[in-house]
Homo-oligomer: A and B are copies of this chain.
């Protein structure tokens, strides 16, 4: 096992009715910026519930709505302006990963004198942030319990991740009933996203990290069990609850500690989203099995075989054969069971013009991953995914 520091400062209130804990915001002040995306939180009644609790606790609410699925730097800048103009004490994100990520960078940039984009491209410049609170409405990115934020500048074709310990939310409310109304397409993409986070951590070669690997396998089995149930019965509580808690544990640091490697699927997908604004989880689902097939060899086979046996319960003694069957099982799960798109063309990427530039940018970010990838490798992966 490698050395590591483990710290999860976010407090989680999990379950039905936990929104009452929004009263804890008053510990940090009396002016909040409420950030959300579309009107879905209004239709679901969450917006009214939240406003009532905030009002009861004498907290004044400022609002920023319209956060995009791949949140834009322009929206961050709007939020920062509101915070600076009104001496806001904290930020409350009600939504999924995009809203949370946007809120995190607003929280940091509100304490920064220059432009918010600086903090996206230079994480080390983040020296502090307003406290961030979350009410989660989509199980996917795990941003409710991690120090990361991904922001896009589509004018530059850039989608970049930033991180800082102070970006960990202070408190997140995870009420699975808030995800009952999530449409099938987003449910599937969310499951692909959390499985991808898990796999990015799982594919490593660090000895003595069996406990963490077993945790990853448990998350993956849970996604495979409950993903289809959530599609068929959108208001199945155990399914929505399990997926919600899996999404947090896929990225909160637990499964990677002591065996951290650089991720490689995410950097590739971020380029697709940056150039074509596609749904993140769908891009990951398309790329993951293609990547696995591309890097499968005698050296990597044992880990893929372990996934096949412990996640998909494939009884096959030969590592290479087991690995191949595992990849097939993953494809079947993503594309047949969860109805995720299978090719880049299916998500609207119908030209190969940007493969070289996207691959070049991605290659620069995945040095040190489970299997090192060059620009040429990534172009080939894009081609096979086309």
Contacts and interface: CB of A to CB of B under 8 A. Distances in A.
A8 B211 CA distance: 19
A9 to B, nearest CB: 7
A6 B254 CA distance: 14
A215 B1 CA distance: 18
**Complex A-B, nearest 9 residue pairs according to Cβ-Cβ distance, in ascending order:** A214-B218, A3-B15, A208-B238, A6-B12, A1-B241, A7-B11, A211-B222, A8-B8, A210-B222
A134 B253 CA distance: 21
A254 B145 CA distance: 14
Interface of A: 1-9, 11-18, 176, 207-211, 213-215, 217-219, 221-222, 225, 237-239, 241-242, 245-246, 249, 254, 257-258
A207 B238 CA distance: 7
A91 B107 CA distance: 34
Nearest to A221: B214
Nearest to A254: B254
Contact of A210 (B15, B208, B215, B242): B242
Contacts of A218: 210-211, 213-215, 217-218
A2 B176 CA distance: 11
Contacts of A3: 14-18
Given A225-B210, A237-B208, A241-B208, A13 B18 contact: no
23 contacts: A1-B176, A1-B245, A2-B15, A5-B11, A5-B12, A5-B13, A6-B12, A14-B257, A15-B258, A207-B238, A208-B237, A208-B238, A208-B239, A209-B242, A210-B218, A210-B225, A210-B242, A211-B222, A214-B214, A214-B222, A215-B218, A218-B218, A254-B254
A201 B14 CA distance: 18
A41 to B, nearest CB: 21
A1 B239 CA distance: 9
Given A6-B14, A208-B239, A208-B241, 8 more contacts: A1-B15, A3-B15, A3-B16, A4-B15, A6-B12, A7-B11, A207-B238, A211-B245
